[in-house]
Amino acid sequence: MLQGFFNYDNPVWRFIGKLGDLILLNILWIVCSIPVFTIGASTTAVYYVTLKLVRDEGDSTIRSFFHSFKGNFRQATAIWMILLVSGIVLGIDFWFFATGQMGLGSVLSVVLTAVSGGMFLIYLFIASYAFPLQARFYNPVKRTLLNAFFMSARHLLQTLGILAADAAIVAASYFGLFYLPQMSVLLMLFGMPLLAFVNSYIFNSVFKRYIPEENEEHTDGTPMLGEEDEAMKQAIESLKGR
């Protein structure tokens, strides 16, 4: 029994190992995100590792992180800057409309608030998928953002689940900060990679649908959607799996 327990293939040890990987990833993410403009590349690298962790594809966490960080740097940084600027603009618009700063009529203010809120929700959908897609598939920046929109809409329940999971972890961290510091410290120890790790279970189940079974190594071009989705296929064409 003891021999089986101390076997590194034991599920308990694999789980403990993954927790250690998340702590290491958190350190790497924080350090590599310090310049701010590198947050996109760091986040993509975290997803590159967590998507592998969920699939139990063993590899060096540090080597995998920097492999993705370097390989995706230009495109991930471009995606991050686009999302950052558009997020700031949408956030300011929503705040102005919601607080009545524009001095518009009540009805018009409500309509514009609803519209800007809807646009911000779509933005969250795209932002949730953009970096995992960049980590998993080869595509130009524009194509990645389009794929993020179409895929998040096509898998709406999974998208809402991702946003709900993220909100729950953030809320738990905030709650723990005031009422249960030990829990907050524990969650902060894992940081953003904990969100990515939880989300990766959902993303892997979604992405698997777009990778043919015979292409387990994910090196060949793979179709984005099935044959029944010709209209959307023309819009987003195909993906190349990593």
Read off the pLDDT of residues 72-104 as tens digits, 9 standing for 90 and up: 999 999 999 999 999 999 988 888 877 766 665
Q: What pLDDT is attached to residue 211?
A: 79
147 pLDDT exceeds 50?
yes
Q: What pLDDT is attached to residue 182?
A: 67
| Mean pLDDT, range 10-25, rounded to an integer | 80
Cα 153 to Cα 126, 157, 237: the distances in Å are: 9, 9, 16
Tokens 């729950």 belong to 168
Q: What pLDDT is attached to residue 191?
A: 87
Would you give the end-to-end CA distance of the chain in angstroms?
Answer: 39
Over pLDDT 90: what percentage of the chain?
Answer: 52
150 pLDDT exceeds 70?
yes
Cα distance between residue 147 and residue 101, in whole Å: 35
Those residues whose C-beta lies under 8 Å from the C-beta of residue 8, and which sit 6 or more positions away, are 14, 17
8 pLDDT exceeds 60?
no
Host domain of residue 115: 2-241
- Closest by CA position to 42, among listed 58, 53, 31: 31
SS3 state at 216: coil
163 pLDDT exceeds 60?
yes
6 pLDDT exceeds 70?
no
Contact 52, 115 (CB under 8 A): no
Q: What pLDDT is attached to residue 175?
A: 76
51 pLDDT exceeds 50?
yes
- Closest by CA position to 21, among listed 50, 43, 42: 50
Cα 196 to Cα 48, 62, 126, 205: the distances in Å are: 10, 16, 15, 14
| Mean pLDDT, range 153-166, rounded to an integer | 95
Q: Out of 5-9, 93-97, 132-136, 176-180, which region has the weakest mean confidence (pLDDT)?
A: 5-9
Cα distance between residue 141 and residue 59, in whole Å: 27
Following DSSP, what letter does each residue of 82-109 receive, concatenated?
HHHHHHHHHHHHHHHHHTTTT---HHHH
Q: What pLDDT is attached to residue 237?
A: 47
238 pLDDT exceeds 60?
no
DSSP 3-state helix, strand, coil percentages of the chain (rounded to 5)?
80, 5, 20
Contact 72, 41 (CB under 8 A): yes
SS3 state at 135: helix
Number of domains in the chain: 1
Contact 191, 29 (CB under 8 A): yes
Tokens 């590349």 belong to 41
107 pLDDT exceeds 80?
no
Indicate the residue type of 79: I
SS3 state at 239: strand
Mean pLDDT of the chain: 81
Read off the pLDDT of residues 176-226 as tens digits, 9 standing for 90 and up: 667 777 666 777 788 899 999 999 999 999 998 887 665 444 433 343 434
Cα distance between residue 186 and residue 113, in whole Å: 37
pTM above 0.75, yes or no: yes
Backbone torsions φ then ψ of 36, nearest 5 degrees:
75, -55
